[in-house]
Amino acid sequence: MKVCYSVNGKKKEFEIKAGEVLLDVLRRNGYFEVKGNCYMGTCGACTVLIDGLPYTSCTMLAAKVDGSEITTIKGIGTLQKPHPLQKAFVEKGAVQCGFCTPGIILVAYALLKNNPDPTDDDIKKMLDGNLCRCTGYVQQIEAVKLAAKMLKKGDE
């Protein structure tokens, strides 16, 4: 069947199988920036924003979100024009292997949209579905706070 998403601001049609999850559709179509492996909603590496809210794309039926706006990590900033969150993650040493990073930054992005001034606790609660085995999270939490500061200063 066919569905239509707007991915990172570009509207596109996708041919999908009715029982497929969004992660598979995205990767098959070259959105390799969406990682993933557990297929149980337990690691968060496959996170994307669907109409602005973060979800694990491995547990989201592709057909269910027909017509939605989907944002991957490439939709919030690029190598040439990174988002403050991406810069802050680099600055704080919050990226090690980077496999979890796209998902984590997307969740943080959704957090900062609603809560420009999050506490440590807010950040911990929001990022609790994104496992990272490399960093131990401390620098990631610092990076989110740094990004909040950068955003407030208008560093877009």
Partner 1 sequence: MLKLKNVKSCFTPNSIQEAIDIHKKSGGKAVFVGGGLDITVFPNPAIEQLIFLDKLGLTYIRDDVGNIKIGATATITDVTKAPVMQNYLKGKVKIALTELASELLRNQITMGGSIARHHFYSDILPVIYALRGKIMVSDGELVEEFFVDDFYRNDLKVLMETHIVVGVHLNKYDDSFQFGSKRFVRNATDIALLNMAILAQIEEDIIKDVSISVGSRPGPAYRFEQGEAFLRGKKLTKELAEDFESFTKSNVDVTKDMHLCKEYRQHIASIYAKEMLLDFIGGVR
Partner 2 sequence: MKDFKHIGTSTDKIDALSLATGQSMFVDDISFPNMLHVKFLYSSYAHAIIEDIDTTLAEKHPGVEMVLTYKNTSRVIHTTAGQGWPEPSPYDTYMFNKKMRYIGDRVAAVAAETEEIAREALKLIKVQYKVLPAVLDMEDAMKDGAPIIHDEPEIKGAYDIKHNLAAHILVKVGDVEKGFAESDVVVEDTFEVPYAQHCPIEPHVTITYLDEYGRIVIRTSTQVPFHVRRIVAQVLDIPVQKIRVIKPRIGGGFGVKQEIILEDVCAYITMKTGKPARALFTREEEFVSSRTRHQMKVNVKIGAKKDGIFNAIRMYVLSNTGAYGTHALTVASNAGSKTLPLYNKAPNVEYIADVVYTNLPIAGAYRGYGATQGYACLEQVVDEVAHKLELTPLEIRKKNHIKSGETSPIFRALGEGREGVTQYMQSCALDELIEKGAKEIGWFEKYGKKTRNGSKVRGIGMSIHMQGSGIPLVDMGAATLKMNEDASFNLMYGGTDLGTGLDTIVTQIVAETLGIKPEQVIVYAADTDLTPFDVGAYASSGTFISGGAVLRAAMKIREQIFEVAKEIFGEYDERDFVLEDGKVTSKKTGKSVTLSEIAYQTLYVKNQHQIAATGSMVSPYSPPPFAAHFVEIEVDEETGIITPIKYVTAVDCGTPLNPELVRGQIIGALVNGLSYALSEEYKFTDSGRMVSSNFMEYRIPSTRDIPEIVPIVVRTYEPTGPYGAKSVAEININGPIPAIGNALYDALGVRVHKVPYIPERVLEAIRSKK
- Positions in the binding site for ligand FAD (CB under 6 A): 40-42
3-state SS, residue 22: helix
4 binds, among partner 1, ligand FES, partner 2, none (CB under 5 to 8 A by kind): none
Asked if residue 137 binds ligand FES (CB under 6 A), the reply is no
How far is it, in rounded angstroms, from Cα 156 to Cα 153? 9
Distance in Å, CB of 39 to ligand FAD, minimum? 10
Q: Six-digit token pair at 48?
A: 């994307």
Report the length, in residues, of the chain.
156
Interface residue with partner 1 among 10, 13, 40, 121 (CB under 8 A) is 40
Rg of the Cα atoms in the chain: 15
123, 94 contact by CB (below 8 A)? no
Interface residue with partner 1 among 59, 69, 74, 134 (CB under 8 A) is 59
Interface residue with ligand FES among 42, 114, 115, 119 (CB under 6 A) is 42
48 binds, among partner 1, ligand FES, partner 2, none (CB under 5 to 8 A by kind): none
**Phi/psi zone of residue 139: left (φ > 0), alpha (ψ -120 to 50 degrees), beta?**
alpha
Q: Which residues bind ligand FES (CB under 6 A)?
A: 36-39, 41-46, 56, 58, 96-101, 132-135
